[in-house]
């Protein structure tokens, strides 16, 4: 497993970050078995969110980490200020309430990287950055970032921070994968996949900002379950979303090339898709969602695959 680091966080951060959204459908024993396997595989960083499972995911995760006595050996990426019941919640009051809830649920005194789950561009960035810096000063969070924030808003926030002597946004969590999106899967989604977002990727490279990218497998598109001939057979909500967002045009060529490269490297297509994210000329961390213990070990193998610039370009456009 390769690791990186972020200012303010003592532990090294694994390049693969295990999600926790699936935990709401698990018993505590099942959650413990999965998280034990993930940690044993070398992944020490976990992606959580106040909204996941209406709090159940953080509670199950918190019980696991507390019972294992490993808080000083793991990194928690927590998210908050997600919209709820039709209301945007990127306010100092909502941020404070979500942090308090998350700390209690996860049985910890601090969240290592705290990321705002959404943005509200109707609000000025000043009060948001002031609030986040207050929590940094209190020690309840150690580093800050934005999930599904545009590069323009991140730049605005960091300009405000520089002007006022504050800690800037230190990380971003957009969508990024080999597959492009035909349309946003939900309102407020920010992606940097595909040639049309080259300017955003260039900005991140210039800023040297770490990227904790979600949906490396493009909602399951690179799982091998989807073909041009079976798209009307899926009735699960998330599968249908994958069909609407990723199952089109150029992505089929990318999938075919990923299949070819997987054979050459004796890897799975999913491993190639994850390796694509990790082998960018950006400071990338790939958020994954292993649902079973064996999937964690399989995903870790992806972190060991090296792709050349020529291979990345070929995967993207076949040249």
**318 has pLDDT over 90:** yes
Rounded CA-CA distance 239/256 in Å is 19
> Where residue 59 falls among pLDDT bands split at 50, 70, 90?
very high
Question: For residues 232 and 254, is the Cβ–Cβ distance under 8 A?
Answer: no
According to DSSP, the β-strands at 284-288 and 141-147 are unpaired
pLDDT at residue 190, as a whole number: 97
Dump pLDDT digits (tens) for 298-309: 899 999 999 999
Mean pLDDT of 241-253: 96
**What percent of the chain is modeled with pLDDT above 90?**
96
pLDDT at residue 1, as a whole number: 87
> Where residue 197 falls among pLDDT bands split at 50, 70, 90?
very high
Dump pLDDT digits (tens) for 212-224: 999 999 999 999 8
Residue 109 lies in domain: 3-317
pLDDT at residue 279, as a whole number: 97
Rounded CA-CA distance 32/122 in Å is 41
Question: For residues 73 and 117, is the Cβ–Cβ distance under 8 A?
Answer: no
Number of folded domains in the chain? 1
The closest of 172, 178, 175, 111 to 138, measured between CA atoms, is 111
Residues 6+ apart with CB under 8 A from 86: none
Dump pLDDT digits (tens) for 8-30: 999 999 999 999 999 999 999 99
**Domain CATH for 227:** 3.20.20.100
């Amino acid at each position: 497993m390769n690791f990186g680091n972020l200012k303010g966080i003592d532990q090294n951060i694994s390049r693969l970050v295990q999600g926790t959204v699936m935990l709401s459908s698990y018993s505590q024993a099942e959650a413990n078995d999965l998280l034990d396997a993930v940690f044993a595989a070398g992944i020490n960083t976990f992606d959580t969110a106040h909204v996941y499972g209406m709090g159940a995911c953080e509670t199950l995760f918190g019980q696991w980490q507390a019972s294992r006595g490993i808080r000083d050996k793991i990194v928690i990426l927590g998210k908050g200020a997600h919209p709820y019941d039709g209301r945007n919640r990127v306010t100092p009051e909502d941020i404070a309430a979500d942090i308090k809830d998350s700390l209690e649920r996860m049985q910890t005194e601090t969240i290592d990287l705290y990321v705002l789950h959404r943005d509200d561009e109707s609000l000025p960035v000043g009060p948001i950055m002031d609030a986040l810096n207050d929590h940094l000063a209190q020690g309840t969070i150690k580093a800050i970032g934005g999930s599904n924030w545009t590069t323009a808003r991140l730049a605005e926030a960091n300009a405000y921070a520089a002007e006022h002597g504050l800690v800037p946004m230190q990380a971003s969590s957009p969508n990024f994968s080999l597959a492009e999106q035909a349309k946003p899967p939900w309102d407020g989604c920010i992606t940097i996949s595909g040639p049309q977002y080259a300017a955003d990727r260039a900005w991140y490279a210039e800023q040297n900002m770490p990227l904790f990218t979600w949906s490396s497998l493009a909602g399951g598109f690179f799982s091998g379950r989807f073909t041009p001939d079976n798209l009307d057979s899926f009735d699960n909500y998330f599968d249908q979303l994958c069909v609407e967002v990723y199952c089109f045009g150029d992505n089929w060529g990318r999938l075919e090339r990923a299949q070819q490269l997987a054979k050459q490297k004796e890897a799975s297509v999913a491993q190639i898709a994850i390796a694509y994210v990790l082998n960018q000329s950006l400071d990338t961390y790939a958020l994954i969602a292993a649902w079973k213990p064996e999937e964690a070990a399989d995903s870790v193998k992806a972190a060991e695959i090296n792709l050349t610039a020529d291979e990345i370009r070929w995967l993207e456009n076949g040249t």
